């Protein structure tokens, strides 16, 4: 999947439409609580500036459902970007229209404008040709640097490069890096290759597990989804999260792993409690879970087992926490796994953290820098691990 990047093209004097992912978390006062997504887009934006392009940045933020809603304005992102770049960054009042066109036409080499939230228009998520053409008409070159939305064929992701035509559409450095790490991990992994999957639901990860069984040496399963596997094996799971309609699927995945020589490892003990709250009274349990209790984290023996299975790994993909990591003391398992991955990375493993809660957990622990790659797209990295085709990437120009 070798695609041309912004480094491969001449953008001097050209209007460069960069689709970024500035879908940053905001507090009630509209302040950005984590600017990582803006930081990750800086290498591409700075390169476009240095090469003399006239930069037009487009992004979505939240789900305004096709209507203008100031709560989802990109104003805080534009302001933060200006601070990070140390230069003036304009915010357009909309993403299309005569006023926006005039502002874009007024750009000089190296100047930056942020378009207002593309999802203020219903045409964005519907990939309406007219809306895509209006966006495409603003620029000469298209750059996809929004990995978090590459699995969505929206107007600014797919319609714009379609309208621009071949020779004018490349990827940014962030998308290039995501494709490199996720692509190489799946196609040419160093072994042992270990996948660690957590989170609440088996249904979210069925296709991922199916796709990974023939590719990996081990799959470690934690989080709420483990209880569906337990029940499928005949254990009582009490009040634990469990998808009763997925018990057969869980059984078939266990059989598939066994027949294909993939070591699918389930927790051997759990931390259980009667109440779902921080610092709830809890105990370690193996075997059946009492009917008034629920599993909220992997237990100490499982932490030891999982750590051992991670230690000698040479490629590691992690998606989903091991327990309710937002609440003490049910964050212990997730933290231990993050630490084990960090240690394995120190010993030469390639570690890929698949966005979402896993990324939040490693950032929270200050281990983000210790991992080979922390993905910016939870949903996108999951779909990549499922082996899905990405039309928004395929349409970009090949090297």
List pLDDT tens digits, range 273-323: 999 999 999 999 999 999 999 999 999 999 999 999 999 999 999 999 999
Question: In this model, does residue 1 exceed pLDDT 70?
Answer: no
Say what the pLDDT of residue 262 is: 97
CATH topology match: 6-174 vs 189-385 = yes
The answer to whether 44 and 102 have CB atoms below 8 angstroms apart is: no
CATH H superfamily, domain 6-174: Phosphoglycerate kinase, N-terminal domain (3.40.50.1260)
**pLDDT of 229:** 96
Give the global pTM: 0.87
pLDDT at 173 over 70: yes
Q: What integer pLDDT is reported at residue 148 of this predicted model?
A: 87
pLDDT of residue 63: 94
Contacts of 260 (CB under 8 A, 6+ apart): 213, 214
Q: What do you get for the CA distance between the two ends of the chain, in Å?
A: 9
Q: Which two tokens stand for residue 397?
A: 């120009």
pLDDT grade for 249, boundaries at 50, 70 and 90: very high
List the domain boundaries for the chain.
6-174, 189-385
Q: How many CB atoms lie within 10 A of CB 65?
A: 11
- Residues 111-126 have a mean pLDDT of 98
Where in the sequence numbering do the catalytic residues fall? 37, 201, 356, 379
Mean pLDDT confidence for 218-245: 95
Q: Under the phi-then-psi rule, with left for phi > 0, alpha for psi from -120 to 50, and beta for the rest, what region is 373?
A: beta
CA-closest candidate to residue 121, choices 69, 75, 76, 160: 69
In this prediction, residues 36-51 reach a mean pLDDT of: 96
From the number of C-beta atoms within 10 Å of its C-beta (0-12, 13-18, 19+), residue 298 rates as buried
Task: Indicate the burial class of 182 (C-beta count within 10 angstroms; 0-12, 13-18, 19 or more).
Answer: buried
Decide which of 382 and 222 is more confident.
222
Mean of all residue pLDDT scores within the chain: 94
- What are the structure tokens assigned to 84, written together? 């990070």
Rounded Cα distance, 265 and 394, in Å: 35
Mean pLDDT of 53-71: 96
Cβ atoms within 10 Å, residue 355: 21
CB 315 within 8 A of CB 193: yes
The mean-pLDDT minimum among 11-20, 154-163, 212-221, 384-393 falls in: 384-393
What is the dotted CATH code of the domain comprising 189-385? 3.40.50.1260
Rounded percentage of the chain residues whose pLDDT exceeds 90: 85
């Amino acid at each position: 999947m070798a695609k041309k990047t912004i480094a491969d093209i001449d953008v001097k004097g050209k209007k460069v439409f960069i689709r970024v992912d500035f879908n940053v978390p905001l507090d009630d006062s509209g302040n950005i609580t984590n600017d990582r997504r803006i930081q990750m887009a800086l290498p591409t934006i700075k390169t476009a500036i240095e090469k003399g392009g006239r930069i037009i940045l487009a992004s979505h933020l939240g789900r305004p459902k096709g209507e203008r809603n100031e709560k989802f304005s990109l104003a805080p992102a534009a302001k933060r970007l200006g601070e990070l770049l140390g230069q003036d960054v304009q915010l357009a009042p909309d993403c299309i229209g005569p006023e926006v066109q005039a502002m874009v036409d007024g750009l000089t080499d190296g100047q930056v404008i942020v378009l207002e939230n593309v999802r203020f228009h219903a045409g964005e998520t519907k990939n309406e040709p007219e809306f895509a053409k209006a966006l495409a008409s603003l620029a000469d070159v298209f750059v996809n640097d929004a990995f978090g939305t590459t699995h969505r064929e929206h107007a600014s992701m797919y319609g714009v490069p379609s309208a621009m035509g071949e020779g004018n559409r490349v990827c940014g450095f962030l998308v290039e890096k995501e494709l490199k790490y996720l692509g190489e991990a799946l196609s040419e992994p160093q072994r042992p290759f270990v996948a660690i999957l957590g989170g609440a639901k088996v249904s979210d990860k069925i296709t991922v597990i199916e796709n990974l069984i023939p590719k990996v040496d081990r799959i470690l399963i934690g989080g709420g989804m483990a209880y569906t596997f337990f029940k499928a094996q005949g254990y009582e799971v009490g009040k634990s999260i469990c998808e009763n309609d997925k018990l057969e699927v869980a059984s078939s995945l266990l059989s598939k792993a066994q027949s294909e020589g993939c070591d699918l490892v389930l927790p051997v003990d759990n931390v259980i409690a009667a109440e779902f709250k921080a610092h709830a009274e809890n105990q370690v349990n193996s075997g059946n879970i009492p009917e008034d209790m629920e599993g909220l984290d992997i237990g100490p023996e499982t932490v030891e087992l999982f750590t051992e299975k991670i230690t000698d790994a040479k490629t590691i993909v992690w998606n989903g926490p091991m327990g309710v990591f937002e609440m003490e003391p049910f964050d212990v398992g997730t933290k231990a796994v993050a630490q084990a991955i960090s240690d394995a990375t120190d010993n030469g493993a390639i570690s890929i953290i698949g966005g979402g809660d896993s990324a939040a957990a490693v950032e929270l622990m200050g281990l983000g820098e210790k991992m080979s790659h922390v993905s910016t797209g939870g949903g996108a990295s999951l779909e990549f691990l499922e082996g899905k085709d990405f039309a928004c990437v395929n349409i970009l120009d090949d090297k």
